[in-house]
Amino acid sequence: MNLSSSIAKTYIFSNKKLTAVAVLGVLLGMSVYIFMNSLLVGFDKSSNASIFRNTSHIRVYKDDEMSKSLNQDSFSLSLIINPKVVPTNNTILNPNMILATILKQKDVVAATPQVNTNVFYNKGRLQISGFAIGIKPDEANTMYNIKSFMVEGDFNVLKSNPNAIVIGSGISQKMNLSIGDYLNLTSSKGINRSFKVIGIFKTNNSVTDKTKSYINLAASQQLLKEGNSYITDINVNVRDPEHANKVAQELTKITGYKAEGWKEANETLMATNKMRKMIITFVSLTILLVAGFGIYNILNMTVSQKINDIAILKAIGFKGKDVIYVFVKQAIFIGIVGVIGGVMMATILITILKRVYLGGDIGYFPIDYEPLKFMQGIIIGLVITFFAGYIPAKKAANVDPVAIFRK
């Protein structure tokens, strides 16, 4: 071991209490930082997961158009106009061509047509309003992973049976339906049709579970008295959901239809997430910083206590940078031990919390070991320790030995 390291070591071990306090500070700061940020990632993942069960990354649909005045000439007489939604069909024209165009975009990984139908579910005298979603079963499953939240039945049957329906658990409960039962649907166009319940899903979002059902695309088109080119939505998934809004803008340009990213569609939720992220980032960084202050304080104290030693070391030929090493090495030692302890502590905390069941929309506590956050914590922790050590070390390096010897 070289000289500055062994001096640093002696100082660290001759003052075990102070060292322990500094290490503990880093340990706590680190573990809280990693823990809170892993939790943040977990929250986002779980909230995104529940969004992506219902929503694709991008939804392409025909937006309502407002009527415009026919006369665009601003020099003519004043016009009184009464803008209204133009009562056109909200279908996407030539959906196959548009689908093909969308699929050609390089960020797009999947695209599937969909027909949203407002319906009444009827059983006996009981009637619930809701919406039946016409889908292509396989494509929709790759997009929403419907099978993962099926609680009963087999989703694959939907492909082979044009009269099959998969209903939310809320509907099944309210109407006392189980697999194999028949359910009557009435559409807004007055069409009545019976479907066979072949599956029940549960998203943990009670509104969705009480209103939503999946049927075949063709069945939904028939409910609306439309032909097989009638498509209300094209749902698109992209490689990185974080870039969905950007891709959506391009799709709007290319297709001429309104393309809406999931973040845009869930603005309130996004704002909440953002706020949560800001608070957690701020608090966890502050805690790490406070741990840094701990090291700074303790090393500052050590420098004051050892000012005679520093003067002697300089008198016998230590350069400024040698003195800096002595003290920075102490900080690094404290930092490394604290960081290792903090990583262990965070791992333990996460392991325990992962097993806590919360229920509801969330299920298990939404936390996992996030390697990125561990890395971030370790790096930030070490950087903070380094600077917390460097500032007092710099002070030590500037000690004027003569001034000390004269005292």
Partner 1 sequence: MNTVLRTENLNKFFYDPIEFKVLKNIEFEVKKGEFLSMIGKSGSGKSTLLYILSTMDNDYSGSLFIDNELVTGLSKDKMAEIRNEKIGFVFQFHYLLSEFSCLQNVMIPALKLGRLSVKDIEAKAYEKLEILGLKDQALKPASKLSGGQQQRVAIARALINDPIIIMGDEPTGNLDSNNTRLVFDMFQHLTRSYGQTIISVTHDDDFAKKSDRIIEMKDGEIVKY
Rg of the chain on CA atoms, in Å: 32
Residue with Cβ nearer partner 1 (24 or 312)? 312
Residue with Cβ nearer partner 1 (13 or 282)? 13
Give SS3 for 140.
Answer: helix
Kindly state the tokens that stand for 176: 């006392």
Give SS3 for 239.
Answer: coil
What region, left, alpha or beta, does residue 73 occupy, with left being phi > 0 and alpha being psi -120 to 50 degrees?
beta
Residue with Cβ nearer partner 1 (59 or 314)? 314
Which residues, listed in sequence order, are joined to residue 212 by a DSSP beta bridge? 131
Residue with Cβ nearer partner 1 (63 or 400)? 400
Q: How far is the CB of 332 from partner 1 (least distance, A)?
A: 20
What is the rounded end-to-end Cα distance, in angstroms, of the chain?
A: 34
CA atoms within 13 A on the CB side of 19: 18
C-alpha to C-alpha distance for 222 and 218, rounded to whole angstroms = 6
Contacting residues toward partner 1, per CB under 8 A: 3, 10-11, 14, 308-309, 311-322, 401-402, 405-406
Helix (H) or strand (E) holding 224: none
C-alpha to C-alpha distance for 400 and 407, rounded to whole angstroms = 12
Residue with Cβ nearer partner 1 (379 or 402)? 402
Q: How far is the CB of 317 from partner 1 (least distance, A)?
A: 2
Q: How far is the CB of 25 from partner 1 (least distance, A)?
A: 23
Kindly state the tokens that stand for 256: 């001429």
Residue with Cβ nearer partner 1 (373 or 395)? 395
Q: Which amino acid is at 53?
A: R
Q: How far is the CB of 390 from partner 1 (least distance, A)?
A: 18
C-alpha to C-alpha distance for 41 and 186, rounded to whole angstroms = 43
Q: How far is the CB of 324 from partner 1 (least distance, A)?
A: 12
Q: How far is the CB of 311 from partner 1 (least distance, A)?
A: 8
Q: How far is the CB of 404 from partner 1 (least distance, A)?
A: 9
Q: How far is the CB of 48 from partner 1 (least distance, A)?
A: 56
Residue with Cβ nearer partner 1 (253 or 407)? 407
What region, left, alpha or beta, does residue 153 occupy, with left being phi > 0 and alpha being psi -120 to 50 degrees?
left
CA atoms within 13 A on the CB side of 300: 9
How many CB atoms within 10 Å of residue 335? 28
Residue with Cβ nearer partner 1 (129 or 305)? 305
